[in-house]
Amino acid sequence: MSAYGLLPFRFLRFDDARTLVVNDVGESLFLANDDFARFVRHELPPDHDAYLDLKAGHFLFQGDSLAPFELLVTKYRSKKAFLDGFTSLHIFVVSLRCEHSCHYCQVSRVSADRRRYDMSEETARRALDLAFRSPAPRLKIELQGGEPLLHFERVRQIIEEAHRRAEEEERQIEFVVTTNLALIDGEMLAFFREHDVFLSTSLDGPAELHDVNRPRPGNDSHARAIAGIHLAREALGHDRVAAMMTTTRASLESPEAIVEEYARLGFDSIFLRPLSPYGFALRSVRTTGYSMREFLDFYVRALDHILALNANGAHLVESYAQLLLTRMLTPFSTGYVDLQSPAGAGIGAVVYNYDGDVYASDESRMLAEMGDTRFRLGNVHRDTYAEIFGGDTLRRIVAASVAESIPGCADCAFVPWCGADPVHHYATTGDLVPHIPTSDFHEKHFFLFKHLMSLYERDATTRRIFWAWVRREPMRSEEVA
Amino acid sequence: MRLHETARVSGIDRPLIGRVARSPLAAGRGDAWLLAENGVLPCDPHGYLGVLSLGDLPDDAPELSGIPVARGLRQLGYLDDGDVVAVDPNGFVRALYRRSSRSNFILVTEQCNSLCLMCSQPPKPIDDSGRMEEHLRLIDLIDPATEELGITGGEPTLFRDGFLALIARCRERLPDTALHVLTNGRMFFYRSFAEKLGRIAHPDLVLGIPLYSDIAARHDHIVQAAGAFEETVIGLQHLDRHGVRVEIRVVLHALSIPRLSRLATFIARNFPFACHVALMGLEMFGLVHQHLSELWIDPADYQRELGAAADILRDAGMNVSIYNHQLCVLDRRLWPLARKSISDWKNVYLPECNACGAIERCGGFFQSGTKIRSAHIRALPSMEIAAP
C-alpha cells in the first residue's frame, strides 16, 4: 500500500473499460477500470502513469507538500468567481404587450391598453435605483417584454438614465434589447448605435417553421426578422446582433434546416433551446410540447450538423455546448443564471416587471403570471434594496440551489460542471430541490455532459472545433481542413 | 562576439563605470569614457571619467597625466556612443551595455539555489553581493530609450532586498524599458516577497520562470534541489495574486519530453495567467555536457511531443513560442511558433546553413554549442519552405 491520500473527487463508470474521475475544480481524467480500483484502494505504485497523472491532476497527494492544496484553493476560487460582485444582470420588462402571439410565449399580451401593461417612468427610475445599488463592478441592463420596441419611450429613458449614472459613478455598463425586430426603424437604430446597444432576437429557423411558431398579423414574422437583422447589422455592426431559437414540436424534424438558416444568415452562434415549462407554454403543451428525450435527439442531430459545417471551415458555435465545454475544459469561471451553483436567480440576475414587482428570474415572473408569486422578491415602490436582495425569499432560493449539497447531485461526477435551477424544479414538481431520478433538468445535463465528452474523445477535428469554441475565436488557419 | 577583454590600465585604483563617448561631450563628461582610436584622442580628456583606447596610445602623453586609462583594446572595437563599460583595477574591461543591441542584461549574481542538470552558466559559490552597487550604477547610465533589458544570474532574487531595489531603480530610471527577469521563482514562495515586488508596480515587467515537469520529484531532480517544485509552483501563484506577470519556460530534453503534454495541461490548468510559455531547445554549454547521456535527445525525435504540447497550450488560448530550434529539425507546421531567440552575441550558423533557403527566418545555433547537434541539420530547399 502506497502512503498517498485522496483529494476530493467524484467518478462515473463512463463505458465498459473506463472510469471518468472529476475533481472538485472540474479537472477530469479517464482511468482504466482496473487502475481506478487500485487507485481507490491506495494500491497504485508511485511510478505508475496513472499515479503520476492523478497526482499532477490533484486527485491524490503524498507527503507534506502544500502545493496541491494551494493550487486547488486558487482553482476553486477561480471557478466560483461568478459569485463575485453579486447581481450584475438587471432585466427590465418595459411592457407586456406584443404584436406576436407565439404559441410557446410565456407571458406576453396582445392588448391596446398601454396603461395596464407598460412600465411607468417612475417604476423604471426606482428599478434603476436598485440596479445601481448592486455592488457588481460591471452592470448589464437587458430590456425585454413583451416587445420592448412597443414602448420605446421607456427603453430610451432607461438606457439614457443608466448611461448617465454609469458615467457619473465610473462603472462599466452594457445594454441588451431583446426584440423580435418587426418594428425596428432608423430612429431606434440610431439611438441604439449611440448607446452601443446589443440586440438579441428570435429566429426559429426557415420561414415556414418560424412563421408557424411565431404568428403575427400578416404572418410575416420571418421576413420582418430577416429585414431587421440586416438593418441592425448595417447600423450597429455585424456582431452586435445575435439570435436565439426555441425548439417546438414542429422543429424536431428539421434540425439541419434550422442550423442551415443560421449559417445562411452569417450568424456565428446558435443557441438550441428547449421550451420552458411555464405560462402559455405549459398550457399549449399538446401542440408545441415534447419529451426531454425528443429534445435531446433533436439537439444531437443539430449539433452533428453544426460540427460538420465547422469541419468544413465555417465558424458557427452552439452556445450551450460552448458554455458546458468551457466548464469541462478550462479553469475559468462561467456564470450562467440557469446553470450554476448556487443558482443565479436573484444573485446573478434579477427581473423588474412592468408593474414594479421584482422577481428572482424570468421563470419566477412567469410563475407569478400563473398565480404563484412565491419567487417575488418585492416591489420597487414598496421595498428597500436590503429587503429585496437580503430577504428570506432570496435566501431560500440560494440555500436550495447549492448543487454540491443536493441529493443525487452531490455524488455526480458532473456536478463541478453543472448547477441547479430551483425555480424550474419548483415549477415542474412543487419542490425547490429536485428529485434527480425523474428530473428533466438532470436528464438533459447528464446526457449533454456525457455526449460532449464522447464527442471530444471521438476525433481530433471535433477537439479542434470545441477548443476554438471555448477560446471564442475561429479555428487557427492551419486547423481548417 | 566578446563582451570583455583585458587591457593595460593606469590610474585606476577602483572599478570605474561610464558611458562611451566617441566625440567631445557638452555635458555629462564625468560619467564618460572618452574613446581613443588609432592613437588619437578626440579632445582633451580632462573632466572625463577616463580614456578607453582601441589599440595603442603613447604612455607618456602629457595630456593623460592623472587620467584613468585602459589601453590596447582589440576585441571591443564595436563600442559606440552610449555603451556602458566597466574597467577594473586589474585591467579587466567589460562591456556592460550596448546601446544598439536588443540583448542587454544585468547578471545580478553568479550564485544560485538550484543546480539544473543543463545549466549553461553554472553558478559559482562566491559572495558577489558587492556587485549590487555596480548594477545600480549601470541602471543610471543606461539610455532610457532602451527597449528591453534582461535581469539574470545565477538566481537574481537571492539578494532579496537588493533585487527589489534593482527593479525599483529600473522603474525610476528606465520607466519605458521592458524588463525581463530570469528567475527560478522559488523565492516567491514567500508571499511577502511577491507582494513587495508587486508593490513596486513596474509598468513592463515579466518574470521568466522555468517549470520542467508536472511531477514534483521530476522537476526537483532536473533542477537538483529538493522542494524546488513546491516553491516555484506556489511562487507562481503568489506572483499572479500580486499582479506580477510571469512567463513559463520549459527546456526540452530526455527528462522533460516524456510528460511534456501532461506538463502543458498542468500549465493551462494551474497557470492560465502566464503571459507566455516558451518551449526551449537545449543550450549545449555548461553542465549539460556532464549529464549528456541523461539529457540528450535529438530534437527530430521529439517533434510529436513538442507539437502536442504546443497544441494543448494554444487550444487553451495561451501564447506559445519555440526557442532555440533550427527550422530544419522543426515540424513545418510549428514554424510560426519558432522565434529567433538566441542573443546576438552568441548566435551563429553552420557552413552548411549558407545554402539554406530559410536561414533568414532561422534562429541558428548557440556559438557555444554547435558540436553536439541534431543528426538532421541540413540546408532546406525552397520547396520545403513554402507554407504547407
Contact B259 A52 (CB under 8 A): yes
Residue of chain A minimizing CA distance to B263: A56
From the centroid of its chain, how far is CA A387?
27
- Name the residue among B219, B221, B290, B206 with its Cα closest to residue B250: B219
Average model confidence (pLDDT) for chain A?
93
Angle at B342 between CA B338 and CA B347, to 5 degrees: 120
User: Residue A203 in contact with residue A261, Cβ under 8 Å?
Assistant: yes
**A374-410, pLDDT tens digit by residue?**
999 999 999 999 999 999 999 999 999 999 999 999 9
Distance separating alpha carbons of residues A426 and A275, to the nearest angstrom: 16
C-alpha cell at B343: 542573443
Contact A52 B233 (CB under 8 A): no
Distance separating alpha carbons of residues A311 and A323, to the nearest angstrom: 20
Contact A75 B215 (CB under 8 A): no
Assess whether pLDDT exceeds 80 at residue A283: no
* pTM of this structure: 0.94
Assess whether pLDDT exceeds 70 at residue A435: yes
Assess whether pLDDT exceeds 90 at residue A229: yes
Assess whether pLDDT exceeds 70 at residue A2: no
Distance separating alpha carbons of residues A207 and A211, to the nearest angstrom: 6
Using an 8 Å CB-CB cutoff, list chain A residues near B314.
476
Distance separating alpha carbons of residues A343 and A422, to the nearest angstrom: 7
List the beta bridge partners of residue A243. Answer: A201
Using an 8 Å CB-CB cutoff, list chain A residues near B332.
none
Using an 8 Å CB-CB cutoff, list chain B residues near A332.
272
Question: Quick one: chain A helix, strand, coil %, rounded to 5?
Answer: 50, 15, 35
- Using the Cβ of B259 and the Cβ atoms of chain A, whether some distance falls under 8 Å is answered with yes
In chain B, residues 46-75 whose CB comes closer than 8 Å to chain A: none
User: Residue B51 in contact with residue B69, Cβ under 8 Å?
Assistant: yes
Q: How far is CA B320 from CA A78, A234, A276, in A?
A: 23, 37, 44
Distance separating alpha carbons of residues B257 and B247, to the nearest angstrom: 19
Nearest to A71 among B262, B270, B314 (CB): B270
State the pLDDT at residue A231. 97
Contact A67 B229 (CB under 8 A): yes
Using an 8 Å CB-CB cutoff, list chain A residues near B214.
52, 56
Residue type, A450: K
**B103-129, pLDDT tens digit by residue?**
899 999 999 999 999 999 999 999 998
Q: Determine the residue among B212, B234, B259 to mutate to test chain A binding: the one whose Cβ has the most chain A Cβ atoms within 10 Å.
A: B234
Assess whether pLDDT exceeds 70 at residue B279: yes
C-alpha distance from B356 to closest chain A C-alpha (Å): 24
**A320-362, pLDDT tens digit by residue?**
999 999 999 999 999 899 999 999 999 999 999 999 999 999 9
Using an 8 Å CB-CB cutoff, list chain B residues near A464.
315
Contact A331 B237 (CB under 8 A): no
Contact B237 A70 (CB under 8 A): yes
Assess whether pLDDT exceeds 80 at residue A112: no
Contact A56 B237 (CB under 8 A): no
Using an 8 Å CB-CB cutoff, list chain A residues near B262.
52-53, 56
State the pLDDT at residue B140. 97
Burial of B301 (0-12, 13-18, 19+ CB in 10 A): middle
State the pLDDT at residue A428. 87
Mean pLDDT of A175-190: 97
- Using the Cβ of B273 and the Cβ atoms of chain A, whether some distance falls under 8 Å is answered with no
**B40-98, pLDDT tens digit by residue?**
899 999 999 999 999 888 877 778 888 999 999 998 889 999 999 999 999 999 999 99
**How many Cβ pairs closer than 8 A exist between chain A and B?**
53
Contact B315 A75 (CB under 8 A): no
Assess whether pLDDT exceeds 90 at residue A140: yes
Contact A478 B388 (CB under 8 A): yes
Residue of chain B minimizing CA distance to A69: B234
Assess whether pLDDT exceeds 70 at residue A287: no
Contact B315 A471 (CB under 8 A): yes
In chain B, residues 212-231 whose CB comes closer than 8 Å to chain A: 214-216, 229-230
Using an 8 Å CB-CB cutoff, list chain B residues near A478.
333, 336, 388
User: Residue B294 in contact with residue B380, Cβ under 8 Å?
Assistant: no
Contact A55 B215 (CB under 8 A): yes
Contact B262 A55 (CB under 8 A): no
Mean pLDDT of A179-185: 96
Assess whether pLDDT exceeds 70 at residue A480: no
Q: Given pLDDT bands bounded at 50, 70 and 90, which one contains residue A279?
A: very low
Assess whether pLDDT exceeds 80 at residue B12: yes
Residue of chain B minimizing CA distance to A62: B216
From the centroid of its chain, how far is CA B152?
6
**B212-251, pLDDT tens digit by residue?**
999 999 999 999 999 999 999 999 999 999 999 999 999 9
- Name the residue among A403, A354, A339, A469 with its Cα closest to residue A122: A354
Residue of chain A minimizing CA distance to B262: A53
CB atoms within 10 A of CB A14: 19
User: Residue B147 in contact with residue B140, Cβ under 8 Å?
Assistant: no
C-alpha distance from B151 to closest chain A C-alpha (Å): 27
Q: Determine the residue among A59, A65, A77, A466 to mutate to test chain B binding: the one whose Cβ has the most chain B Cβ atoms within 10 Å.
A: A65
C-alpha distance from A347 to closest chain B C-alpha (Å): 26
Using an 8 Å CB-CB cutoff, list chain B residues near A53.
262
Using an 8 Å CB-CB cutoff, list chain B residues near A75.
269-270
Distance separating alpha carbons of residues B250 and B210, to the nearest angstrom: 6
State the pLDDT at residue A1. 47
